[in-house]
Amino acid sequence: METGRRTRLRAGTDPQVADWLHRVARCHAHLCAIVRLYGDPSKAGGQSNQGETYAARAARGDRTILYDAIGVTVDELLAVREEIQVVIDAATPTTAEPGTTAKVDEMARRAERGESLFVEGDGPRPGDGSPG
């Protein structure tokens, strides 16, 4: 995390988790700025792509500012979510058979690590085709 920011993480936070949290916090800050913009357009800064200031656009009730901000935010949050899902699904398959102590122990370790419990490629599958 950057220093001097409101969002503070404890020392030793996993760098990947810190990146995700920072990106989520930026999305939150962006949407809060948009809400404040409509509440008091005089606090807005910057020029918009349409040639007039964001303050002027908000003052006249231009809904495209909100629409665009939501779109950008949703896209970023979905990207973060997909990256997290990849990590969750990255558990190493096990050769342990279903129902054995070894399989239960491996599933417990996966749960502790925040990984998916059922992983493609796990040991022998029961005849019904469900994950092993």
Task: Tell me, yes or no, whether 33 and 53 share the same domain.
Answer: yes
Task: Tell me, yes or no, whether 101 and 69 share the same domain.
Answer: no
Residue 45, pLDDT score? 61
Task: Tell me, yes or no, whether 73 and 98 share the same domain.
Answer: no
pTM listed for this prediction = 0.70
Task: Tell me, yes or no, whether 24 and 81 share the same domain.
Answer: yes
Task: Tell me, yes or no, whether 83 and 114 share the same domain.
Answer: no
Residue 4, pLDDT score? 47
Task: Tell me, yes or no, whether 43 and 99 share the same domain.
Answer: no
- Within-domain flag for 4: no
DSSP string, the chain: --TT-S----TT--HHHHHHHHHHHHHHHHHHHHHHHHH-GGG--SB-TTSSBHHHHHHTT-THHHHHHHHHHHHHHHHHHHHHHHHHTTPPP--PPTTSHHHHHHHHHHHHHT--SS-TT-SPPPTT----
Task: Tell me, yes or no, whether 84 and 97 share the same domain.
Answer: no
- Within-domain flag for 68: yes
pLDDT digits (tens, 9 = 90+) for 26-81: 999 989 888 888 887 776 666 566 677 778 888 888 899 899 999 999 999 999 99
- Within-domain flag for 8: no
- Within-domain flag for 116: yes
- Residue 73's contacts (CB-CB under 8 Å, 6 or more residues apart) are 27, 30, 31
